[in-house]
Amino acid sequence: MTQRAMTSALSLANRAALGIFGVMFCIYLLGPILAFIPMSFNDVALLHYPIERFSLRWYSNLVASSEWRLALLNSVVVATSATVLATILGVCAAFGLWRGRFRGHSIIMVVIMTPMIVPSVIGAISMYFSFAEIGMDYTYSALILAHTAMAAPIVVVTVSAVLARFDGNLLRAAASLGADPLLAFRKVTLPLIMPGVVSGAVFAFAISLDDVVVALFLAGPDQRTLPVQMYMRSTDLFDLATAAAAAMMFIVAVAMMIFLELLRRRDRLAPVAKAADSRR
């Protein structure tokens, strides 16, 4: 065997090994989810394969059940409200931190990031007692406020990232042309940082939709969100409606990921923020 043939055989073996490893790692990451979700199409209320008869009965059960409908509605209302609030707060905070280089700048950044770092059960328990103290436990407001606090930091992070590429001279230019600070923000800053704002909002929505721990503490039966409902159903009288709900949430999550990726590509193809500045 020649030297070249030996190396190529070796590299073929290497590539095959890498391929096998890659596939196994993906199975490890996604296997449980991909195994669970198809069961939602099984006609029989049993968690096993093979699927005996294909059916959508668990999906129709889901839609028919007032309990599940309420949970879905709660999730949408809470996640949407928290996303809107967290995005507004996060954009304001990121812009303020970007503009002002003041004393204690980095301390404020750490404070803002705290909700992301603190274990959620600690946050949940403290919020539960705090809201109970002022009589706000088991209310939509409490749940929305809690999710807002959990989601705002990610908006600060994504918006700060785009602001780092934003040319401050553009705001000076806008001012010299007669735009007051609010108009300059609306017409110049906001359109240019929009990719960061949108991806921050998507992450904020995902954080709210993902939360079980805080909602378990803060939500009464009327505020029960979809993940909490799924958790409850899985621990008592399990039926495959949970699998159907999981399938739907999975699709939403995948859709959000695809959306973020498209957003990222668009941003990369049109490097909007500092077109002129690259020439400096």
Partner 1 sequence: MKPSVEFRNISKSYDNQTLVIRDLNLSIERGEFLTLLGPSGSGKTTALMMLAGFEMPTTGEIFVEGQPYSALPAHKRDIGVVFQNYALFPHMSVAENIAFPLQVRGHGPKDLDRRVKAALDMVRLPEISARKPAQLSGGQQQRVALARALVYEPKIVLMDEPLGALDRQLREEMQIEIKSIHARVGVTFVYVTHDQGEALTMSDRVAIFRKGVIEQIADPQTLYDRPCNAFVATFIGDSNLLRGTIVGRGGGQATVAMPGGGTLDARAGDNGAGKDAYVSVRPEKIDVSAGCIDRGVGNILAGTVDKTVFFGDHVKVSIRLEGGQLLAVKTGTTEPYKNGQTVTASWRAEDCVAFTAPPTRDTAVVETTVQV
4 versus 268: smaller Cβ distance to partner 1: 268
Task: Count CA atoms within 13 Å of residue 110 on its CB side.
Answer: 4
Q: How far is CA 118 from CA 2, 27, 57, 80, 124, in A?
A: 60, 31, 41, 23, 10
* Residue 128, amino acid: Y
246 versus 273: smaller Cβ distance to partner 1: 273
Q: Which residue has the tokens 């190396």?
A: 7
175 versus 256: smaller Cβ distance to partner 1: 175
Q: How far is the CB of 52 from partner 1 (least distance, A)?
A: 56
Q: How far is the CB of 273 from partner 1 (least distance, A)?
A: 7
Q: How far is CA 230 from CA 144, 212, 223, 238, in A?
A: 19, 9, 14, 9
50 versus 178: smaller Cβ distance to partner 1: 178
8 versus 169: smaller Cβ distance to partner 1: 169
Which residues fall within 8 angstroms of residue 85, CB to CB, at 6 or more apart?
144, 145, 148, 152
Q: How far is the CB of 271 from partner 1 (least distance, A)?
A: 8
Q: In this structure, are residues 155 and 200 in contact, taking their beta carbons and an 8 Å threshold?
A: yes
**Chain residues that interact with partner 1, rule: CB under 8 A:** 167, 169-170, 172-181, 183-184, 187-188, 191-192, 270-277, 279-280
Separation of alpha carbons 267 and 189, rounded Å: 15
Q: How far is the CB of 236 from partner 1 (least distance, A)?
A: 53
131 versus 166: smaller Cβ distance to partner 1: 166
Q: In this structure, are residues 163 and 193 in contact, taking their beta carbons and an 8 Å threshold?
A: yes
Q: How far is the CB of 188 from partner 1 (least distance, A)?
A: 6
Q: How far is the CB of 241 from partner 1 (least distance, A)?
A: 46
Q: How far is the CB of 164 from partner 1 (least distance, A)?
A: 16
Mapped onto helix, strand or coil, the DSSP state of residue 42 is strand
Separation of alpha carbons 194 and 210, rounded Å: 24
Q: How far is the CB of 91 from partner 1 (least distance, A)?
A: 17
69 versus 186: smaller Cβ distance to partner 1: 186
Instruction: Give the distance from CA 187 to its chain's centroid.
Output: 27
Nearest residue to 265 (alpha-carbon basis) of 167, 203, 195, 204? 195
Residues facing 42 on adjacent strands: 54
Residues facing 54 on adjacent strands: 42
133 versus 180: smaller Cβ distance to partner 1: 180
Separation of alpha carbons 197 and 87, rounded Å: 7
